[in-house]
A and B are shown apart, each in its own frame.
Chain A
Amino acid sequence: MTDVPRLAPWPGPINQEFYDGLNRHELLLQKCKDCSKFRFWPIEMCPFCNSFNYEWARCSGKGTVHSYIVQHATMPYPWVVLLVELEEGPRLVTHGLMEPEEVYIGMPVDVDYEKITDEITLHAFKKAES
């Protein structure tokens, strides 16, 4: 478990596979079966081609920092929040597993995982290994 209490998301029909994947330490995103584009967050229709057909596809887990903040208020220590742009295109808000002074826009990052409750594991991102 992480050292800071975290508010938990709520899995449901549209995103159960996403959270099941995270529990297995796999980052799955919806991928359109017609135009092959990835999308996030989970929604019924492909916003590129309006197809209902999709699969859950595993991402490489690699991305770059598109933007970031450091949350000071409400956290026991300065807490890095990243907006990561994945290789596959979509961007994720995620916890940054690095020191605030290390992070910069354009930083290459790799996916990691944090168990926040017995049922929920979330993605987090760390510095890419060269």
Chain B
Amino acid sequence: MTDTLKDKACIVGIGETEFSKSSGRSEMRLALEAITAACEDAGIGPKEIDGIVRFSVDGNQVDEIARNLGLDNVRFFPEVFFGGGAGCGIVQMAAMAVALGKAKYVACFRALNERSGFRYGQMGAFMPMAGHFQYSIPFGLMAPGSMVAMMAQRHAYNYGTKTTDFGEVAVAFRKHANMNPKAMMYGRPLTLEDHANAKMIAYPLRLFDYCQESDGAVALIVTSPERAKDLKQKPVYIMAAEQGMGSWMEMMTSYQRENIADLEEYTRLAPHLWKEAEIGPEDIDCAQLYDAFTPLIVMQLESFGFCKLGEGGPFVRDGALQIGGRLPTNTSGGCLSEAYIHGLNQISEGVRQIRGTSLVQVPNCKNVLVTAGSGIPTGALVLHSL
């Protein structure tokens, strides 16, 4: 066995609930619906699951998931912390487990009533989550969007990035959402003018720079290539999977690092990711980038080498991120316009792109980059098929 994870695990099933502002049912129910749907999609019975990986912030514990599913031999159940930063990390955990024979079928999930239940964006709501928020929230830096606005403002100062560049991001993903009936913003087109005239939330960010607040769940089933061959779907191989932190890392407010306009947590993991995948950004046909707030897209494009540091603004202009553009990105609408399932809905969309079943399908899509949450310890995946 070589010391790389490349193509040693596959995503073979995806399951999603509907995405809404009020699910009307428990987070456990949502998780179980998504997990059983993912099993059905893969063509396995739920009782074949012997590994479960969760976001630490998820409201559902793995033992209760196992009890509900009637599992009697779960062998692998780690978790990954840091909110949406966990999204690709949980898949990395699952991939390593199946590659080393520690589990056969691993379920990865995220279920949340983030709109009807605990809302992260409310004033200071997540202050108790980590001690260091006492050094920002009491001063009026109230919510994640404001914390990102601080970085965006410096990005604009350093590199001349414009708020219309953030608008380009919002408009591109909304366009895709309008081709996806599951998206919360389906049927609600958005123009650059709408973006520029929207309510100011935290200058320089306006309403449409912010993601959705959503109820819903997404689950994935990960297994080995050998088992994948006998299942229902075309296997989607995990070409590379990495986690990363930058310097002076803290959740959302890594403001001591030299350049706060550089999302170092991605910039540092990207070379490892491309090395494992044995491809580069020029080989990516479609990207699913974590988009809690629009400036994070501009900055991620720089981190992963789609353009140089500071050139993310010019990169996104003229519809580059739209279907048919240079780098079709967040083709289901992303967190901005499909739903905020902490980015796990972007992994399932990445899987659909490789299968060729997306509603906003990129023609001949071979390689997809997926990223997890920004401004926090995070992760990324490259997906493809063989």
Residue numbers of A with Cβ under 8 A of B are: 6-10, 12, 39-41, 47, 66-75, 78-81, 83, 90-95, 100, 105, 116, 122, 124
Q: Tell whether, in the assembled complex, residue A91 and residue B201 are in contact, meaning their CB atoms are under 8 Å apart.
A: no
Known: A7-B138, A81-B139. A72 touches B203 (CB 8 A): yes
Residue of A40, A41, A116 touching B138 (CB-CB under 8 A): A116
In the complex, given contacts A69-B141, A71-B140, what are 19 additional A-B residue pairs having Cβ atoms less than 8 angstroms apart? A7-B124, A7-B127, A7-B138, A40-B256, A47-B248, A66-B154, A66-B255, A67-B153, A67-B157, A70-B202, A71-B142, A74-B123, A79-B140, A93-B136, A93-B141, A93-B253, A95-B139, A105-B154, A116-B138
**Complex A-B: 20 CB contacts under 8 Å:** A7-B137, A12-B131, A39-B256, A41-B132, A66-B255, A66-B260, A67-B151, A67-B153, A68-B153, A69-B149, A71-B142, A73-B201, A75-B140, A81-B139, A81-B140, A83-B255, A83-B260, A90-B256, A100-B203, A116-B138
Q: Tell whether, in the assembled complex, residue B202 and residue A71 are in contact, meaning their CB atoms are under 8 Å apart.
A: yes
Within 8 A of A (CB), among B16-36: none
Question: Does any Cβ of A come within 8 Å of B288's Cβ?
Answer: no
Contacts of A40 in B (CB 8 A): 135, 256
What 6 A-B pairs have minimum CB-CB distances, sorted nearest first?
A: A9-B134, A70-B203, A67-B154, A93-B136, A69-B149, A72-B200
Question: Does any Cβ of A come within 8 Å of B71's Cβ?
Answer: no
Q: Tell whether, in the assembled complex, residue B203 and residue A93 are in contact, meaning their CB atoms are under 8 Å apart.
A: no
Q: How far is the CA of A70 from the CA of B313 in the complex (A)?
A: 22
Q: Tell whether, in the assembled complex, residue B134 and residue A10 are in contact, meaning their CB atoms are under 8 Å apart.
A: yes
Tell me, rounded to whole Å, the shortest Cβ–Cβ distance linking B254 to chain A. 10
- Secondary structure class of chain B's binding surface, majority of residues: mixed
Q: Tell whether, in the assembled complex, residue B146 and residue A71 are in contact, meaning their CB atoms are under 8 Å apart.
A: yes
Q: Tell whether, in the assembled complex, residue A94 and residue B139 are in contact, meaning their CB atoms are under 8 Å apart.
A: yes
Q: Mark B189-227, 1 if CB is under 8 A from A, else 0.
A: 000000000011111110000000000000000000000
Residue of B123, B138, B203, B248 touching A8 (CB-CB under 8 A): B138
Among A78, A83, A94, residue most surrounded by chain B Cβ atoms (within 10 Å): A83
Tell me, rounded to whole Å, the shortest Cβ–Cβ distance linking A37 to chain B. 12
Residue of B nearest to A6 (CB): B138
Tell me, rounded to whole Å, the shortest Cβ–Cβ distance linking A10 to chain B. 6
Residue of B139, B154, B205 touching A122 (CB-CB under 8 A): B139
User: What is the size category of the interface that chain B forms with chain A?
Assistant: 20 to 34
Q: How far is the CA of A95 from the CA of B138 in the complex (A)?
A: 9
Among B142, B205, B248, residue most surrounded by chain A Cβ atoms (within 10 Å): B142
Question: Does any Cβ of A come within 8 Å of B150's Cβ?
Answer: yes
Among B132, B138, B153, residue most surrounded by chain A Cβ atoms (within 10 Å): B138
Contacts of A68 in B (CB 8 A): 150, 153
Residue of B nearest to A67 (CB): B154
Q: How far is the CA of A51 from the CA of B137 in the complex (A)?
A: 29
Q: How far is the CA of A54 from the CA of B199 in the complex (A)?
A: 46
Tell me, rounded to whole Å, the shortest Cβ–Cβ distance linking A91 to chain B. 5
Contacts of A74 in B (CB 8 A): 123, 142-143
Q: How far is the CA of A8 from the CA of B204 in the complex (A)?
A: 26
Q: Tell whether, in the assembled complex, residue B154 and residue A95 are in contact, meaning their CB atoms are under 8 Å apart.
A: no
Q: How far is the CA of A75 from the CA of B232 in the complex (A)?
A: 53
Contacts of A12 in B (CB 8 A): 131
Q: How far is the CA of A94 from the CA of B143 in the complex (A)?
A: 15
Residue of B nearest to A106 (CB): B157
Within 8 A of A (CB), among B139-183: 139-143, 146, 149-151, 153-154, 157
Q: How far is the CA of A66 from the CA of B253 in the complex (A)?
A: 14
Known: A68-B150, A69-B146. A105 touches B157 (CB 8 A): yes
Contacts of B123 in A (CB 8 A): 7, 74
Q: How far is the CA of A92 from the CA of B260 in the complex (A)?
A: 13
Tell me, rounded to whole Å, the shortest Cβ–Cβ distance linking B260 to chain A. 7
Within 8 A of A (CB), among B237-268: 248, 253, 255-256, 260
Q: Tell whether, in the assembled complex, residue B141 and residue A81 are in contact, meaning their CB atoms are under 8 Å apart.
A: yes
Contacts of B205 in A (CB 8 A): 69
Contacts of A124 in B (CB 8 A): 139
